Amino acid sequence: MISKQFHHQLRVGERQPLLGPPESMREHVVAASKAMKMGDWRTCHSFIINEKMNSKVWDLFPEAQRVREMLVRKIQEESLRTYLFTYSSVYDSISMATLSEIFQLELPMVHSIISKMIINEELMASLDQPTQTVVMHRTEPTCLQNMALQLAEKLGGLVQNNERVFDLKQGVYGGYFNRDQKGGYQQMQGYHRGR
């Protein structure tokens, strides 16, 4: 579950055309999230664990070094997961040894993470034990999914048309009921008040 505030900060950060280095803790977390989203665990690590964050957050914990080690491990694991979520459609297969090298995780840990993702149906893939590779499965959308996409597109078009009509009505009828404005029906039909 993602918090609304965090999601808002992430969207605001993505809309900014030019980003400088993060200054506040919030900016560090948003920058780390963007790096993790791309599967770049080293950059994520550098935004979360650095002198500034250590002095403001991590050094305040008892056994701060163990906390930092745990954070590094979690960053590596979750970066692997997000990498697979993001780039699984690009690969036909990928070696677990390669993933182990990229994320500096032990091979059994990589195997465990991928197995959990497959079991939880988060990743459409299978493990090839003899070659130690992850084989991605291409899944075409079902008939129901295609129909749902078509319905969503049609509803989106309907909403746009309704908004356009609403905007036109606001523009055309905006001053219609102004009593000082004499025009239209009153002028053309000889309408006179009080008769």
Contact between residue 133 and residue 95 where contact means Cβ atoms under 8 Å apart: yes
Residue 83 and residue 100 share a domain: no
Residue 14 and residue 83 share a domain: yes
Q: Is 162 helix (H, G, I), strand (E, B) or coil?
A: helix
Mean predicted confidence (pLDDT) in 117-142: 89
Identify the domain containing residue 113 by its residue range.
Answer: 91-136
Question: Considering only CA atoms, which of 66, 69, 30 is closest in space to residue 47?
Answer: 30
Residue 74 and residue 105 share a domain: no
- 178 assigned to some structural domain: no
Q: What pTM was computed for the model? A: 0.67
Contact between residue 57 and residue 87 where contact means Cβ atoms under 8 Å apart: no
Unique residue bearing structure tokens 């957050």: 57
User: What is the reported pLDDT for 17?
Assistant: 77
Q: Is 26 helix (H, G, I), strand (E, B) or coil?
A: helix
Question: Considering only CA atoms, which of 25, 23, 44 is closest in space to residue 33?
Answer: 44
Radius of gyration of the chain (CA): 28
- 39 assigned to some structural domain: yes
- Round the average pLDDT of the chain to a whole number and report it: 85
pLDDT digits (tens, 9 = 90+) for 17-63: 777 788 888 889 989 999 998 889 999 999 999 998 888 889 899 99
